[in-house]
Amino acid sequence: MPYFDTASSAPLHPVARQALLAALDEGWADPARLYREGRRARMLLDAAREAAAEAVGCRPDELVFTSSGTRAVHTGIAGALAGRRRAGRHLIVSAVEHSSVLHAAEVHEREGGTATQVAVDREGAVRAGGYAEALRPDTALACLQSANHEVGTVQPVAEVASVCREAGVPLLVDAAQSLAWGPVAGDWSLLTGSAHKWGGPSGVGLLAVRKGVRFAPQGPADERESGRAAGFENIPAVVAAAASLRAVRTEAAQEAVRLRELTERIRRRVPELLGDVEVVGDPERRLPGIVTFSCLYVDGETLLHELDRAGFSVSSGSSCTSSTLTPSHVLKAMGVLSEGNVRVSLPLGAPEADVDRFLQVLPGAVAAVRDKLGAPAPRTVVEDDALVVDAVGKLCPVPVIELAKVIGDVPVGGTVRVLADDEAARLDIPAWCAMRGQEYVGEEPADRGTAHMVRRQV
């Protein structure tokens, strides 16, 4: 069964498996002890740290291992903010950061700090100027992902790092998605990563803090990992994480070329095969293996089930799932269509034949879902020369389906008023208008739900 969701978690690399099994026999002792078993464990830990530091592009004594990538983010943000408390309590993040960063920002605000979100363009990228505008005299820390986890867009880290450095503000880079492909460019101050993203075992993260960066570890003091990651080191997992990172780096250049060709094939063919689809993310500045698209009139969770039955494991940032009633914060910040969202993230060595079969299966899966969701009949009335579609109580993508059904019933220049109470409508109705050449006028208050005003242009 083709696994196309490595952006969530990559399969364990063969080198990681071998290193893990070997380290289970050799690295079980306490590396802080001076007897033979402890010294052996310490040698394994030190070698893993040197290998990981070389891959990151920092000194070994600047890097510590944590219990996860999320823990690395939380530790890095909390420690940097505390270390620069005298400078101020203002934090800057981008609007499309991983949830671990945004959750840390929420905690910071609840504890009396302030946070600014820097907007992104329609392709998911920030501007260095956006960070320059957000910087204040009391800014303690700025955060920026190296590449987006949902759409693959690579961020201008070097430019943002330069802006922050000039202002004397450290930049923390969440590099979880990109470390497999190479070191992060730019004069960053802190960096985090997560082993399961590059084929290492889960439960291992890394945090690099450059020398000279003010950093105050939070929580009870612990003598391990420079006091920045409490608890007994999981040496076998750490060894496997470092070994797999080194291994994927040796394959990265060649695999990047091959995976870019495959994802470009998907980006090109999906609009031709499906229609009413938007491929999102930067078409050039992007990670090699990720491609994301959103389909009109499709429920994302249902489409994923259809693809799963056809033998493909993919993921979705769609708002239309049973677990959430709000749009993906990444797609929302980009202002793109969220309904029927599919993210394909190819593993190293993904066969070309699997991609071709995916493209063969996809049109039938989308057609089946669209057929299932085409049944709802809109209840329409005419009020003040505007056609009113009552979609209150109906979840994405039904409000958009019903709008599409009736837009032709009004003359060019006429208005359709869509009543909806689904949060996703705020994103998907304007996105539909942009895709279909109609004018989204805006929202109006309504007795039931919110009225979304659409003017027919074509």
Catalytic residues: 320
Assess contact for 238 and 31: CB atoms under 8 A. Answer: no
Task: Give me the phi and psi of 93, to 5 degrees please.
Answer: -135, 160
How far is residue 244's CA from residue 14's CA, in Å, rounded to a whole number?
8
Dist. CA 220–CA 267, nearest whole Å:
49
Angle subtended at Cα 346 by Cα 345 and Cα 347, rounded to the nearest 5 degrees: 125
Query: Look-up: residue for tokens 């955060």?
Result: 143
- What's the rounded Cα separation, in Å, for the pair 324 and 317? 10
Q: At what angle do helices 425-436 and 398-406 cross, to 10 degrees?
A: 40
| Cα(346)–Cα(181) distance, integer angstroms | 13
Instruction: Name beta bridge partners: 419.
Output: 390, 451
Q: Which ranges of 4-88 does DSSP label H, i.e. alpha helix?
A: 14-26, 36-56, 69-83
Rounded to an integer, what distance in angstroms lies between the CA atom of residue 224 and that of residue 216? 15
Q: How far apart are the first and last CA of the chain?
A: 44
State the Cα–Cα distance between residues 96 and 63, nearest whole angstrom: 26
Listed residue (7, 8, 21) closest to 239, CA to CA: 21
| CA–CA dist 289, 6 (Å, integer) | 9
Phi, psi for 403 (deg, rounded to 5): -60, -45
Cα–Cα distance for residue pair 421/243, rounded to 1 Å = 50
Beta bridge partners of 444: 451
Give CA–CA dist 185/200, Å, rounded: 23
Q: Is 50 helix (H, G, I), strand (E, B) or coil?
A: helix
Tokens 């993919």 belong to residue: 314
Contact 56/192 with Cβ under 8 angstroms? no
DSSP annotation of 377: P
Rg of the chain (C-alpha set): 24
For residue 260 the two structure tokens come to: 């870019």
Q: Which amino acid is at 38?
A: G
